[in-house]
C-alpha cells in the first residue's frame, strides 16, 4: 500500500472568499495550501516552489487561466492541474484537458468533488514517484 502523503496545493482564483474557504477546507484534509487571487503573482510563486497540484479558475482578472495551465505544463510537466470554472462548456473542458489539465470541475461545485479529484491525483503522483525510485 502507498504511504499517503498530503500534497502541496496552489489555489488560483480571483475570488478571495473562495480562496479562503478552499484553503481552510483543504488544510483540514491535510494539504499544504497556498492561495493567490492574482495570476501573475501565482506564476512567480510556481517558479519558486514545486506544487503537486494547482487548482486554477479559468477567469482570473488580466491573466487567463488557460495561459497559466499552459505555462505550468511547460515548466513543471509533472504538476497536476485541476481547472475550476463558472463558464464550463464541453469545448472549454476539451481544450483544458488537451492542454494538460488532469481534472475539470464546474462551479458551483461540492467540496467532495474537489477532495475526490485531489485524492485521485495524489495517488497518481505517488505511483509515478514510486516508479521513478
pLDDT in tens, 6-32: 799 999 999 999 999 999 999 999 999
Domains contained in the chain, CATH given: 8-132 (3.40.50.2300)
- The string of pLDDT tens digits covering residues 58-67 is 988 778 899 9
User: Dihedral of the CA atoms 117, 119, 121, 124 (nearest 10)?
Assistant: -140
Is pLDDT above 50 for 2?
Answer: no
Which phi and psi angles does 32 have, rounded to 5°? -95, 115
What is the C-alpha end-to-end distance of the chain, expressed in Å? 16
Indicate the average pLDDT of the chain. Answer: 91
Average pLDDT (33-61) is: 93
Pick from 119, 116, 121, 114: which is nearest to 80 by CA? Answer: 121
- Check residue 4 and give its pLDDT: 55
Which is it for the CA torsion 64, 32, 18, 106, positive or negative?
positive
Confidence of residue 131 (pLDDT cuts 50, 70, 90): confident
Amino acid at each position: 500500500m502507498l504511504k499517503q502523503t498530503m500534497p502541496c496545493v496552489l489555489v488560483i482564483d480571483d475570488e478571495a472568499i473562495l480562496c479562503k474557504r478552499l484553503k481552510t477546507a483543504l488544510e483540514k484534509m491535510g494539504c499544504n495550501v497556498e492561495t493567490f487571487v492574482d495570476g501573475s503573482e501565482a506564476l512567480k510563486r510556481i517558479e519558486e516552489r514545486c506544487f503537486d497540484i494547482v487548482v486554477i479558475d479559468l477567469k482570473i482578472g488580466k491573466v487567463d487561466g488557460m495561459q497559466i495551465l499552459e505555462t505550468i505544463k511547460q515548466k513543471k510537466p509533472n504538476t497536476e492541474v485541476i481547472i475550476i470554472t463558472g463558464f464550463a462548456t464541453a469545448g472549454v473542458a476539451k481544450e483544458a484537458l488537451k492542454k494538460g489539465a488532469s481534472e475539470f470541475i464546474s462551479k458551483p461545485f461540492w467540496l467532495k468533488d474537489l477532495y475526490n479529484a485531489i485524492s485521485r491525483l495524489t495517488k497518481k503522483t505517488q505511483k509515478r514517484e514510486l516508479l521513478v525510485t
